[in-house]
Structure 1
Amino acid sequence: MDIFNEIKKKLSHEFIDIIEWLDDTKDTLVYRFERYQNEIKNGAQLIVREGQMAVFVNEGQIADVFSPGTYVLNTQNLPILTTLKGWKYGFNSPFKAEVYFVSTRMFTDEKWGTKNPVTLNDDRFGFVEIRAFGTYAFKINDAGKFIKDIVGTDSRFTSYEINEHLKSLISTRFTDTIGEANLPIELYAANTNELSDTCLEVLQPEFESVGISLERFFIENVSMPEELKKEIFEYSRLNKIDLDKLSKFKAAKAMEIAAANESGTAGAGMGMGMGFAMAQQMGNIYNQQPQQTAPTSNTQHPGAPAGGATPPPIPTPTQYYYAVNGQQAGPVAFENLKALFAARTINANTLVWKQGMPNWSSLNTVPELQSLLGTIPPPLPNI
């Protein structure tokens, strides 16, 4: 009696009459329809729901692809499979073929981010590092190509399995895109919408090459080290004020702090150095005023040069003009120029001019200013 029941059960499941997939997951991209001995009955019903596509594979070769709808499987709606099977005059017996259901709905809120910092070369700040992260959305638009190039014979393929590949692809193309954008470093965070659109345009062909459509791409944040942020904020403030006045103000404050620190030789040395700089500035102001001619006298003062000779005037320090953001600033003395260089307000490529020079020249090409190039220590290494 048990033997007859087993035979009856086997015969009832030997041929499939209805082929369908009820997706109860949120991450399945491809599902292979399982059935007894891969046999499908002639005239079986295929049900493809909205957000799905069905792909028939014969001996590893993509055959017929079905969009949403209900189909009765026969030689009329299986033209490719009919050719592969050699059904010239129709068929009445069951046939074998693999059936894959592909989810074509949109997969949203997929995360991406740069695993390592991206190094950029900025004209003002040199080599800098940034990081970025965001989200993207995609869907399968060519089911046959996606199965052939990505899925293979996997019976259940999830979004997690493809996401690692897609995130690596995004990170690589993102690095290339921002490198070619060549924006000032502070503008990357302010132009995330424009960069997102550009990255979307660059990435779409890469996704389509494996049967995927990139529907959305968003850069949520572009971050940089805190030290670099502070430099950028200070630089932006400097652009709004008179740099010459600022340098004099900083020199005066430094001298005041150094004078108050009487406990160490380092503070005394700093106070002396800044005092000399301030004295030089005051001397410049004095030298710019009309000089009065001292009355001559036959009386020789004690300590005066023999024969009544008058000493030559004290030489006036060389005054330099410099360019910041396309605007002329100055003139300033060498010490002030040195302070501006130390504060990174100017750099080796800044254009400078002094009396006697025929044209503006880069700071690093003026012989007497080349000593400034070694006064700025390199940035601290990341520890």
Structure 2
Amino acid sequence: MGLFDKIKEKLTNEFIDIVEWLDYTDDTIAHRFERYQNEIKNGAKLIVREGQAAVFVNEGQLADVFTPGSYDLTTQNLPILTTLKGWKYGFNSPFKAEVYFVNTHLFTDEKWGTKNPITLSDERFGLVEIRAFGTYAFKVSDPGKFIIDIVGTDSNFTNFEINEHLKSLIATRFTDTVGEANLPIELYAANTSELSETCQEVMQPEFTSVGISLERFYIENVSMPEELKKEIFEYSRIDKLDLDKLTKFKTAKAIEAAAANEGGTAGAGMGMGMGFVLAQQMGGMMSPQMGGQQPMQQQAPGVPPPMPAQTQYFYAANGTQQGPVSFEQLKALFASRTINRDSLIWKQGMANWTALKDVEELKSFLGGNTPPPLPQQ
């Protein structure tokens, strides 16, 4: 082989005549075809496999986009690049252009979640906090826009690089959506399917603006503090049960707890009194169901009558209902400044919640029991 033939072979081998990309990963979204300063040969073959798109970029400008198929790179198949290059009458020499292969298949099981609690206002429970997490799936719907707006000059762009941006976007739009939904707090966890569909619809334009399509969006769980859960469960029971019966039951439980804490003879006496009170209350509850009037219970000889039940108070603290507590316990809470003169108080027989300062028997907490000064002599 002569010197001229060796130079010709060397120059020929520098030209790329097959442009393709075999993806051996499962997380690459965009890959730049590396030429190592080699030029693409006129008439070279471009192979775009299923689940791919090929994007040609000339000096930062989007040129041609190819869907799956096999192409001969000529002026007929590169109309925009031909215009940008100024090839008015075709070309016969190799050319340079950046070629990006984009994965257009579905990227599934991507995780999202709220980094911080979301604060919502509920008309019954006041300000409450919730968290949420789930999964989503996306794919590149506009490869050209995605390359220009997101990838830029990155030679190997993975879904890890875009996921942080997408998760922040999802958390922001999710917060806005649940805030505007104005649902009762207990319905967020019970309506995750409907809420997921609404969130996907709200987020879709944000994804589309960068060439991505949000294909699936799932809310797997909406969580809240355990204290709030207990209040919601209690509220739901109150809503279903007779309030008077529930109050009597709570009173009996409170007396039972007090008896257990006292200990000794006093505790035993309190427990016995609680038993009589509870028996009377349960008998009163069952009377309407049994029909007719029940005969009065006969007092056993030598047994004192049951102790009267203490008045039980409910109070509001930090926007939540607390209690019931006894008069002395309420007084201790006032002394420790857990509650104040403006704290809302409710007991059985009161139509509405009332400020502590306006409850007659609680005004003694505020002072005013000091006698006036002696008259002048």
TM-score normalised to structure 2 length = 0.71
What is the aligned partner in structure 2 of residue 154 from structure 1?
Answer: 154
Distance 1:256 1:61, change over 3 A: closer
- The runs of 5 or more residues in structure 2 that have no matched partner are 285-309, 325-342, 366-377
What is the aligned partner in structure 2 of residue 328 from structure 1?
Answer: none
Two-structure CA RMSD over aligned residues (Å) = 3.7
Aligned residues: 307
Q: Among residues 340, 358, 375, which one is paired with 1:368 in the alignment?
A: 358
Letter of the 2:106 partner, please give it.
M
Deviation at 1:76, TM superposition (A): 0.9
What is the aligned partner in structure 1 of residue 127 from structure 2?
Answer: 127
Deviation at 1:79, TM superposition (A): 0.8
Partners of 2:144 and 2:212 in 1: CA distance? 11
Letter of the 2:25 partner, please give it.
T
C-alpha contact (below 8 Å) 1:13/1:36 kept by paired residues: no
What is the aligned partner in structure 2 of residue 23 from structure 1?
Answer: 23
Partners of 1:24 and 1:205 in 2: CA distance? 31
Letter of the 1:235 partner, please give it.
Y
Deviation at 1:370, TM superposition (A): 9.9
Find out whether 1:246 has 2:246 as its counterpart.
yes
What is the aligned partner in structure 2 of residue 357 from structure 1?
Answer: none
What is the aligned partner in structure 2 of residue 330 from structure 1?
Answer: none
Letter of the 2:358 partner, please give it.
E
Distance 1:67 1:245, change over 3 A: same
- The C-alpha deviation readout for 1:275-326, integer Å capped at 9, x for no partner, is 9xx9xxx9xx9xxxxxxxxxxxxxxxxxxxxxxxxxxxxxxxxxxxxxxxxx
Partners of 1:366 and 1:127 in 2: CA distance? 22
Please give the secondary structure, in 2, of the residue aligned with 1:206.
helix
Letter of the 2:218 partner, please give it.
F
Deviation at 1:12, TM superposition (A): 3.9
| Equivalent residues in 2 for 1:156-195, closer than 5 Å | 156-195=156-195
Partners of 1:338 and 1:47 in 2: CA distance? 75
- The C-alpha deviation readout for 1:19-51, integer Å capped at 9, x for no partner, is 111111101111111114241111111111111
- The runs of 5 or more residues in structure 1 that have no matched partner are 286-333, 355-359, 376-383
What is the aligned partner in structure 2 of residue 319 from structure 1?
Answer: none
C-alpha contact (below 8 Å) 2:150/2:210 kept by paired residues: yes
- The C-alpha deviation readout for 1:337-359, integer Å capped at 9, x for no partner, is 75796449xx9699x998xxxxx
Deviation at 1:200, TM superposition (A): 0.3
C-alpha contact (below 8 Å) 1:110/1:136 kept by paired residues: yes
Letter of the 1:237 partner, please give it.
R
What is the aligned partner in structure 2 of residue 118 from structure 1?
Answer: 118
| Equivalent residues in 2 for 1:50-129, closer than 5 Å | 50-129=50-129
Partners of 1:337 and 1:198 in 2: CA distance? 43
Deviation at 1:366, TM superposition (A): 11
Find out whether 1:141 has 2:131 as its counterpart.
no
Distance 1:85 1:110, change over 3 A: same
- The C-alpha deviation readout for 1:7-28, integer Å capped at 9, x for no partner, is 5774243111111111111011
C-alpha contact (below 8 Å) 1:364/1:370 kept by paired residues: no
What is the aligned partner in structure 1 of residue 368 from structure 2?
Answer: none
C-alpha contact (below 8 Å) 1:15/1:36 kept by paired residues: no
Letter of the 1:146 partner, please give it.
F
- The worse-fitting range, judged by mean Cα deviation, of 117-126 and 137-146 is 117-126
Partners of 1:261 and 1:34 in 2: CA distance? 79
TM-score normalised to structure 1 length = 0.70
Deviation at 1:253, TM superposition (A): 3.7
Letter of the 1:66 partner, please give it.
F
* Percent identical residues: 71
Distance 1:36 1:235, change over 3 A: same
Partners of 1:177 and 1:255 in 2: CA distance? 46
Distance 1:259 1:29, change over 3 A: closer
